[in-house]
Chains A and B, each alone.
Chain A
Amino acid sequence: MVNAIHVDHVSKTYGSFRAVDDLSFEVNQGEIFAMLGPNGAGKSTTIRMILDILKPDVGTISVFGGPLTDAKKDRIGYLPEERGLYRNVKVLEMMTYLGTLKGMTQRNAQSRSKELLERLALIEHRDKKVSELSKGMQQKVQFAVTVLHDPDLIIVDEPFSGLDPVNTLVIKDLMLDMKQRGKAVVMSSHEMHQVEEMADRLLMINRGRQALYGPVDEVRRRYAIHAVIVEGQGAWEQLSGVQRVEPHKNGRNAAILHLAPNVTSNDLLATIAAAPNATIERFELAVPSLNDIFIQVAGRDE
């Protein structure tokens, strides 16, 4: 099966500013692919180049196995970070129009719009103008527009910003549903826990360059430190095999125990179990969150 997206040694320079620098990656069908990076890292520029809004200076980008043609545009859904909707047009009318621009028939676009509005609990607002909707509702409409034509590839920039937890869940379900049906989902997000939870693979860009690239689990393991996080009572410093103890910054009563090179986490668990006055409420490997990795990677180049 051909890749949904194949970016090959792409660079883009604005004047003397190198926005994207020799970037290469692939997005497969049936996966959720996360693009991460600090502000100004080049994520939006990369997305725009994939969508042929911008042309790269160097390198090639292929979508569904070749250059992006007009016919292929109908197979892509795009949710721009700066939301774009007609404000003075009725919701259903606008969705139908944007659907037909993606090659749908008028009737098809209309029935599918109603279906999505139903699913997003917006059906009673279909004859309201977009400007009359709340921000969260507009966000949902925007997402509905993105998936209206059942594209094979969606590129969503910050899909959860401005959504409450309930609606976040609804959108998440829609995205997972797309993945299940073999579609490719590219999401750019600052919400690391969402990426951690949903994404199969990730690309982290920093200053236009690839900082991290690979399966989410692998990336996290690569940044794992030789330590465990424990919560409970005990004289951790005195346990054998523990080199150093530092308080865990998020845990109320948690600590990070750095282990000696020859000690495994299983050894430590056994030691704690044997220790007379130690009780534990939590015991886990100190695999860093993507957030930690993100800060670590982004901070390294500052």
Chain B
Amino acid sequence: MNKMLLVAKYEYLYNLKRPAFLFAAFGTPIFFVIIMAVVTLASAGTEVDLATYGPVGYVDQADVLTTGQAHPDYPALFQSFESIESARTALDDEAIIAYIELPATYLSTGRVNLYTYQSSVPENLTAAIELFLLTNFTTGIELPFTLERLQEGVDIRVQTVDDGRTSTQGGLFVTLFLPVIFAFLLITASLTNSGFLMSGLVQERTNRVIEILVTSVTPLQLLAGKIIGLGLLGLTQVVILLGTTYLGLALGQSQNLEFLQGVNLPPALIALALIYFLVTFFFMAALLAGIGAVSSSEQESRQISGFLTIPFMIPYLFFITFITEPNGTVPTILSLIPFTAPMSVLIRVGLTDVPAWQIGLSLLILVLTTVFSVWAGSKMFRWGLLLYGKKFDLREVVRVIFGRARMETSTPQNITSQESV
């Protein structure tokens, strides 16, 4: 097998088993699914069988339930009481499980008080109370539809005009923010995996495995193998992320969770996110490989890489601007700067209709920067691979990238340390 592919396979399998990766890949999605499940279970748990549920008393001080007509579904659920006191006595004697009070002001405020010793009120009891009231209000009126239809009121579907995504009012929040969260997870995955590449490389240098490696494969085979292996690892993570997102959505929607109704992730958005994911990965992987190859310790390389990662999060500092003015000056500029572009574009695409030329230009600039970063990164990589214990010197690095192409892998400063007994 080609040595580059061997390196790729090894890096993929090794990092796949790492706790850090497993946590990043499965932790977030599992958390998401668990939240869905908990919400689903919690809402399912508040449904009770009202046929066997204890009677509920009512005290009608607003004089709206004079007929006391029961809804056909719940013929014996509600019992009338003359006064609050008698209802209270019945409650204390456990003759009823709860009682509602319709205050005199009910017709103007719509407010109803419910008294019970139970810790929670089943959701379908609320619905039953509404139906009970509606049954009485509509006595003698011929309805052209069912009472339940009247009870439900208006169901508004929000259509975002730009990309044809639909959602209910409740789902609007999720529709807008799901892409934002998704973008965040994707770019983070990209940064995490390029971080793996760097720390792996620094470890190989500290362990001196690198000496064995470079006498077996060329530096470029090594670098390319690592980038491919970890790139595939990143894609695996994205597939897991997408899979669980769809699973969570399907699960939530099957349970009729109102805030997820009609929420979907359009394929075009996912495709764009994947493109940004890959370009960002190559951009950072090459850059961090170069840094991993020239920095003297894992700690130092982490500091530098942390410093380079911060700009990716800058768009979140302007989050309010992004929401209120997604096509304004700041979001537009941030969409073009290589480091801030991935997040900015993906957030904006989730919020509004971004002009195609901006996406195109943003990608063009990012791709050009990536080409440069791969070129410079591989130079630093070749140069710094076998340099030990030397302090990171930016001027020297710049000279290596732009100056002489000759490969110089050792310096007099570390001669003694290399040859110590």
Contacts and interface: CB of A to CB of B under 8 A. Distances in A.
B6 A84 contact: no
Given A73-B216, A102-B216, A80 B6 contact: no
B412 A98 contact: no
A76 B386 CA distance: 19
Contact of B215 (A39, A76, A82, A161): A76
A89 B14 CA distance: 8
Contact of B7 (A14, A39, A101): A101
Contacts of B407: 55
A41 interface: yes
A53 B209 contact: no
Interface string A132-167: 000000000000010000000000001001000000
Interface in A36-68: 39-41, 43-45, 48, 51, 53-55
Contacts of B416: 39-40
A82 B208 contact: yes
A19 B207 contact: no
Contacts of A102: 216
B207 A17 contact: no
* Main SS at interface, chain B: helix
B410 to A, nearest CB: 6
Which has the most chain A C-beta neighbours within 10 Å: B6, B216, B407? B216
A101 B421 contact: no
Contacts, number: 85
B215 A53 contact: yes
Given A55-B406, A158-B421, A85 B415 contact: no
B415 A83 contact: no
Interface string B1-43: 1010011001000100000000000000000000000000000
A167 B406 CA distance: 42
A106 to B, nearest CB: 8
A101 B216 contact: yes
A15 B412 contact: yes
B20 to A, nearest CB: 12
Contacts of B420: 39
| Chain A interface category by residue count | 35 or more
A107 to B, nearest CB: 12
B271 interface: no
Given A82-B208, A83-B208, A98-B216, A44 B409 contact: no
A43 B415 CA distance: 10
A84 B210 contact: yes
Contacts of A78: 211-212, 215
Which has the most chain B C-beta neighbours within 10 Å: A45, A78, A86, A89? A86
Given A15-B412, A39-B419, A101-B6, A80 B216 contact: no
B97 interface: no
Contacts of B421: 39, 158, 161, 190
Contacts of A80: 208, 211-212
Closest 9 CB pairs of A and B: A84-B208, A101-B216, A17-B412, A14-B412, A84-B209, A80-B211, A82-B208, A78-B215, A39-B419
Interface of B: 1, 3, 6-7, 10, 14, 203-204, 207-218, 386, 406-407, 409-412, 415-416, 418-421
Given A45-B415, A85-B209, A161-B421, 6 more contacts: A17-B412, A48-B409, A70-B218, A80-B208, A82-B211, A84-B212
7 contacts: A14-B410, A48-B410, A53-B214, A70-B218, A80-B211, A82-B211, A83-B208
